[in-house]
Structure 1
Amino acid sequence: MIEPTILSRPTYGTLEPRPGRAHLLIADDAGSAAIVDLFARAPADFHESATILSVTKDLSGDEAAALHRLSPATLTACPDMPAMLNTLAGLLAEAGMGVQIYLAGTEPLIGQAMRVVIEAGIDHSAIATEHRGSLARRVQCVHCKGFMDEVTTQPVTCAHCGLSLFVRDHYSRRLAAFQGVCINAEDQSEIVPAEEVFR
């Protein structure tokens, strides 16, 4: 479970079916189980107005098969996050009033998809989220502005500038990332051993 620590830290709920003209569901492999659980609670005709956008590394895997069995109106599998975000932007450009958005999976997926949804002008009240899977973080180095995905250690070495970064709980919704600040700014010869804390 994600423990909220400061006000900017996102909190997540459990996906529940909501009234709407159309339903757009976005998940990674970890979030596919949340989509399956949502469909189990949804009205019988929910699938007729459901579009599922999935980021999956294995099109023949169990997660992809489970989503396919739901028989949504449309199921699109994307090989990676950039492809999914591009496809999502296209779908949102054509979406009309009354669309409900469901985001499920890891924090990087939820954060980056939410940023695209908000930029498309969808009101936050139409967005539901559920965290599933790894607690790995997307981190921005506040010094060089570079981003790193799948960060599991505290501290982490910036992949762009090489600084040792303390990963703060401060979360930027605009950037969909946690902030990393130099942990040894006063004495960079001081080495703080990394420990895996975001699993």
Structure 2
Amino acid sequence: MIRKRPSAPPRVKASSAARDLRHRERMAAKTIISRPIYGALSPQPGKHHLFIADAEGALAIVDMAKMAPPGFFGGAEIVFIPGREGKHVAALEALKPAQFHQAPSFSSLLPRLKQTLGNAHMGLRLYLAGTEGLIGQAMQVALEAGIDHTSMQTEHRGSLARRMQCVHCKGITENVTTQPATCSHCGLLLLVRDHYSRRLAAFQGVCINAEDRSEIPPMEEAFP
């Protein structure tokens, strides 16, 4: 008597959008990744020290202060974006910098930052700490003002949320935490790549379901 093998359960076919997402992720992993590399803040010799930080970036400044020589913050200016929770303001004020300013957002401090960097003299040291969006945008402004990159230090602290540029409509979406993500300008569903543009201070987002817009892969929290 010949016994028949039990038939294998039917395979569940992944949607083309899901397959496309996995394919794009594999391809992105094989390409040169242009993500910025961050270090840790350390006190540098200089006549003027400018600190720009948001949220948990304040803790990077506080930690660096433990290594700073006496009187270091007497020649320092701290510009801080506290964020929604408004934490760490007292800790920064306790460092007794020569100047301390708070701003509700990066766009609101931009005029002051441009003026400060435009009037900067030799010996300025720039310290950037906090989210990637803050670091990238501040570095972009500094480079445009002629500040040499060797005069800057960066330290990432806090959220991994990304600043994303849609390659299709060129719009910028702030604080992206999911993969894929929706463009806040044109509404396309985008794969957030590791390709980072220092000129734009943003990661690249490309349409993930261009062949069939009705196929929508599930969003996952990728950059908390």
Q: CA RMSD in A?
A: 1.3
| Cα displacement (A) at 1:7 | 4.0
Mapping for residues 120-159 of structure 1, pairs under 5 Å = 120-159=145-184
Consecutive unaligned residues of structure 2, counting only runs of 5 or more, are 1-28
Pick one of 53, 61, 66 that aligns with 2:79: 53
Letter of the structure 1 residue corresponding to residue 122 of structure 2: M
Q: Residue deviations 1:77-117, cap 9 Å, x none? A: 11111012222111111211110000000000000000000
- What is the TM-score with the length of structure 1 in the denominator? 0.94
Note if contact 2:33-2:194 (Cα within 8 Å) is conserved in structure 1.
no
Note if contact 2:128-2:155 (Cα within 8 Å) is conserved in structure 1.
yes
Alignment match, 1:118: 143
| Cα displacement (A) at 1:159 | 1.3
Alignment match, 2:119: 94
Note if contact 2:55-2:87 (Cα within 8 Å) is conserved in structure 1.
no
Q: Percent identity?
A: 59
Note if contact 1:54-1:84 (Cα within 8 Å) is conserved in structure 2.
no
Consecutive unaligned residues of structure 1, counting only runs of 5 or more, are none
Pick one of 85, 88, 96 that aligns with 1:63: 88
| Cα displacement (A) at 1:45 | 1.4
Q: Distance in 2 between matches of 1:107 and 1:166?
A: 18
Q: Give the 4+ runs in structure 1 shifted more than 3 A.
A: none
Which one has a bigger Cα radius of gyration?
2
- What is the TM-score with the length of structure 2 in the denominator? 0.84
Pick one of 40, 43, 62 that aligns with 1:17: 43
Q: Residue deviations 1:107-153, cap 9 Å, x none? A: 00000000000000000000000000000000010000111111000
Cα distance, 1:62–1:183 mapped onto 2, change above 3 Å:
closer
Q: Residue deviations 1:170-195, cap 9 Å, x none? A: 00000000000000111112111111
Letter of the structure 1 residue corresponding to residue 109 of structure 2: M
